[in-house]
Amino acid sequence: MTYTSPDAPVDRAIDTKVEEGIDWTKVLNIDLLNITWRTAKISDFDAILQLVDENVRNIFEIDETGSKLLYLIEHSFYFLVAINFQGLIVGAVSVNDVPPLCYIAPAEWDSWLQKKFELYKFRYHNTLWIHFLAYTKRYKNVIFHCLLEPIFMRWSLVTKLAIYVPPKVKVRKKWICFFERVGTVVKPGPEESHMGVDSDSDEYPTNIYCVSRNRFLEPIFLKKAEEEDKEVIQKTLEKDHKKLVKRFGTKYLNKIITDPRYTTFIGST
């Protein structure tokens, strides 16, 4: 394998077999291009805890022991970890269908959001709430897509991922660029203060950030298939779904499009 630096003369190349002391993951960003994900396990606890810094600790209320992480790994709606090509955990995210508010009953948070924040678009059937999100800084430019895109791909009804940020807690600039801050028309009253801070304060308001499905996946528009669409569908099947063509043949496609007993839809971006 030979790598030529863009700043080096054309006739000068670096041979990886000779330059054994070079960390090629830093030169070629191999690890940034080979990140996979899987569901978290209890055995991942120590590696996930290593990702927690002061900012993450404040936002998600993770104590020194990390006991909350153990609970989330076992009871989260979905807990994912991102793994680089060396098998090391470099990011983690936990999502649930309720906000991380201990004083709001799971059955009441929907109406609470509507009354206190007037967030009528945030409902239990279309929004998942992030209860934990941490990563190694080296992966900050790719980690959001690696961790959040699989969630949208797995649950088609989920249109938003949201983060509830307690008062008096700053959010990283990277998060502000990636997540959209939701305007909260009505703030919670003093009786519902969080972390001992008056949530009704203008200086330290409660913030909610969210990211939409469209940030990761292009919206698909569906329409009823017509006879003139048959040629396009046929080419797609022959290119990407050869097993279906081999099993059902080409006559089956004509049948499901023209036969009134069937309704066939096609999607386009």
Give the pLDDT score at 17: 40
Number of independent structural domains in the chain: 2
Give the pLDDT score at 252: 75
Annotate 200-217 with b (16+ C-beta within 10 A) or e (fewer). Answer: beeebebbbbbbebebbe
In a domain? residue 1? no
User: What confidence tens digit (pLDDT) does each residue in 65-124 have?
Assistant: 899 999 999 999 999 999 988 889 999 999 998 888 766 676 777 777 776 666 666 776
Give the pLDDT score at 183: 63
Please measure the distance between the N-terminal and C-terminal CA atoms of the chain and give it in whole angstroms: 39
Give the pLDDT score at 11: 37
* In a shared domain, residues 79 and 171: yes
Annotate 145-161 with b (16+ C-beta within 10 A) or e (fewer). Answer: ebbbebbbeebeebbbb
Beta pairing partners, 57: none
In a domain? residue 3? no
* In a shared domain, residues 77 and 121: yes
* In a shared domain, residues 151 and 258: no
Q: Which residues of the chain are modeled with pLDDT < 70?
A: 1-33, 102-104, 106, 115-121, 124, 183-206, 219-220, 269
In a domain? residue 69? yes
In a domain? residue 47? yes
* In a shared domain, residues 120 and 244: no
Q: Where is the domain boundary, 177, 199, 215?
A: 215
Q: How many CB atoms lie within 10 A of CB 95?
A: 24
Query: Residue 208 is part of which domain span?
Result: 13-215
In a domain? residue 2? no
In a domain? residue 8? no
- Of 211, 121, 114, the C-alpha closest to 162 is 211
What's the rounded Cα separation, in Å, for the pair 12 and 27? 16
Q: How far is CA 77 from the centre of its chain?
A: 13
Give the pLDDT score at 12: 36
The CATH number covering residue 80 comes to: 3.40.630.30
- Tell the burial category of 90 from Cβ atoms under 10 Å away from its Cβ (0-12, 13-18, 19+): buried
Judged by phi (left if over 0) then psi (alpha if -120 to 50, else beta), residue 107 lies in: alpha
pTM: 0.65
What's the rounded Cα separation, in Å, for the pair 214 and 266? 19
What's the rounded Cα separation, in Å, for the pair 69 and 50? 11
In a domain? residue 6? no
* In a shared domain, residues 161 and 255: no
* In a shared domain, residues 241 and 140: no
* In a shared domain, residues 131 and 251: no
* In a shared domain, residues 103 and 228: no
In a domain? residue 208? yes
Q: How far is CA 256 from the centre of its chain?
A: 36
User: What confidence tens digit (pLDDT) does each residue in 186-204 have?
Assistant: 555 544 444 333 344 444 4
* In a shared domain, residues 20 and 108: yes
Q: Where is the domain boundary, 215, 230, 250?
A: 215
Rounded to 10 deg, the angle between the 230-240 and 251-258 helix axes is: 140
Give the pLDDT score at 25: 46
- Of 195, 155, 192, 165, the C-alpha closest to 55 is 165
Q: Where is the domain boundary, 215, 234, 251?
A: 215
Q: Which are the contacts of 210, defined by CB distance < 8 A and separation ≥ 6?
A: 122, 127, 160, 161, 162, 163, 179, 180, 182
* In a shared domain, residues 199 and 127: yes
* In a shared domain, residues 130 and 231: no
Question: 175 in helix, strand or coil?
Answer: helix
* In a shared domain, residues 63 and 98: yes
Q: Strand locations in 16-153, DSSP E?
A: 36-39, 78-83, 89-96, 127-135
